[in-house]
Amino acid sequence: MTTNTVTEQLTAAGRAIEHDSFAIIDAEVGPHNYTAEQWPLVRRMIHANADFEFNGLTAFHPGLMQAGLAAVLKGGTPIVADVEMICVGLSAPRLSHFGMTTHHFISDPDVIEQARTEGTTRAVQAMRKAHRLGKLDGAIIGIGNAPTALIEVVRLVREQGVRPALIVGMPVGFVSAAESKDLLMTLNDIPWVAIRGRKGGSTLVVAAIHALLGLAEAAQAK
């Protein structure tokens, strides 16, 4: 029996399907090396894509789970995403329970214009704008689409002293996607969770953050 109410499906039928899905994953996944704290996050990503390869492809900074729970339980922590899809995919009631807000800047006219002027991607300029607005420090940064956004975030951490609470780095694709995540995984002082290789996507970022929200609600109940 779960103690969660806010971070569960809204109907009994929906909850039963989700719980049954998790039980099937647990039964079929086989051995893994994730801790008891990490596994709910990996399991939810497998659930989101029906892809058992995330058992193994998912990599954690050793401080990720502790940092993630702290960021959620703190209340009011912003989530900065590379694309709107992440912001739309996150459950508004779940975010509201923790006073969290989402932000993305990739479609802002000034971001588009600056990208054209400098010959960069919109994703790079969106992260630079987020930094100028003071949105990155203490934030959960979620990147599921744009490798260039993740590369820029790592640069901002190293060169500008940006200090997000954690980075969910899961851009998908064939150009620089794997490399951007390899770069993220070289950070020692900022917690991160990443998907090795080309796989990823906004759906996985949403799943990972929803897993953190669910774990945080369970911690609140205790």
The b-or-e profile of 40-60 (16+ CB within 10 A means b, else e) is bbbbbbbbbeeeeebbebbbb
Q: By the 8 A CB rule, do 200 and 144 touch?
A: yes
4 pLDDT above the threshold of 80: no
Q: By the 8 A CB rule, do 205 and 48 touch?
A: no
What is the structure's pLDDT at 221? Answer: 81
The b-or-e profile of 67-105 (16+ CB within 10 A means b, else e) is bbbbbbeeeebbbbbbbebbbebbbeebbebbebebbbb
- Say which CATH number the domain at 186 has: 3.40.50.10230
14 pLDDT above the threshold of 50: yes
Instruction: Express as a percent the part of the chain with pLDDT over 70.
Output: 98
197 pLDDT above the threshold of 70: yes
What is the structure's pLDDT at 29? Answer: 93
Phi, psi of 72 (to 5 degrees): -75, -50
Residue in 36, 27, 35, 32 with CA at minimum distance from that of residue 53? 32
Domain that holds residue 112: 59-221
Between 39-49 and 202-221, two packed helices, what is the crossing angle to 10 degrees? Answer: 140
5 pLDDT above the threshold of 90: no
Average pLDDT for the chain? 94
Asked if the structure places residue 142 within a domain, the reply is yes
List the catalytic residues.
Answer: 47
Structural domain total, the chain: 1
DSSP, collapsed to helix, strand or coil, labels residue 69 as: helix
15 pLDDT tier (thresholds 50, 70, 90): confident
What is the structure's pLDDT at 2? Answer: 52
What is the structure's pLDDT at 3? Answer: 65
Residue in 67, 14, 17 with CA at minimum distance from that of residue 212? 67
Residue bearing the bigger pLDDT, 132 or 19: 132
Asked if the structure places residue 42 within a domain, the reply is no
Q: Using CA atoms, how far apart are residues 134 and 198, in angstroms rounded to an integer? A: 30
Asked if the structure places residue 115 within a domain, the reply is yes
10 pLDDT above the threshold of 90: no
Listed range (25-39, 138-152, 181-195) with the worst mean pLDDT: 25-39
Asked if the structure places residue 127 within a domain, the reply is yes
Listed range (18-22, 49-53, 122-126, 216-220) with the worst mean pLDDT: 18-22
For 65-94, the pLDDT digits (tens) are: 999 999 999 999 999 999 999 999 999 999
End-to-end, the C-alpha distance of the chain in Å comes to 14
1 pLDDT tier (thresholds 50, 70, 90): very low
